[in-house]
Amino acid sequence: MNAPTLEIVATGLRFPEGPALLADGTLVFVECERGTVTRLAPGGKPEVVAFVGGGPNGLAIGPDGAAYVCNNGGFAYHDEPGMLRPIGTPDSYVGGSIQRVDLRTGEVRTLYGGEKSPFLKGPNDLVFDAQGNFWFTDMGKTREQLVDRARVFYASPDGRFCREVIHPMLGANGIGLSPD
């Protein structure tokens, strides 16, 4: 069996996460450390679509074609040769959020978290269901002597409802739905 051939398509990214592939082959993803939603067209260079701040961690494309972002509120980072890694919660942390980003205009709207309830600590990943709503995880934050318990939420993309459906958990890094 032949080993797969790897091709570097972009460099200089700052902790990329949450990739979503659009129908035209464009890759949309977040850069946690930069606080951005970024796109990469086939054969192109990375282009910042929007600055969302904090620590965007997960991204999914909603039924309306917008990008929905789990923003964990940010990390402090350690940058060493060849590796950028999160090392804790930054002094600037004020909570996490779920954000909607219009991929055409770059407009960012906070749907949940921040000043909009419920209080989210570290949203991590999300997935849309057949009804057009989404499930998302909130891993919480780790501080010097405290570790939050993780949770799972179910929410609407229009900001009408967001409810906690599973709590407590010992971790929730990612979420998916059964194809059934």
Asked if the structure places residue 46 within a domain, the reply is yes
Q: Which element (helix H / strand E) includes 153?
A: strand 150-155
Q: Hey, how many other C-beta atoms are within 10 angstroms of the C-beta on 163?
A: 9
Asked if the structure places residue 92 within a domain, the reply is yes
125-136 pLDDT, tens digit per residue, is 999 999 999 999
36: amino acid identity, one letter = T
69 confidence band (pLDDT: 50, 70, 90): very high
pTM, rounded to two decimals: 0.93
3-state secondary structure of 109: strand
115: Cβ–Cβ under 8 A, 6 or more apart, which residues? none
1-35 pLDDT, tens digit per residue, is 788 898 888 999 999 999 999 999 999 999 999 99
Specify the number of domains making up the chain: 1
The mean of the pLDDT values for the chain is 92
Distances (CA, A) of 158 to 41, 82, 93, 137: 28, 40, 25, 18
**Per-residue pLDDT, 19:** 96
Domain span at 46: 16-74+82-169
Asked if the structure places residue 175 within a domain, the reply is no
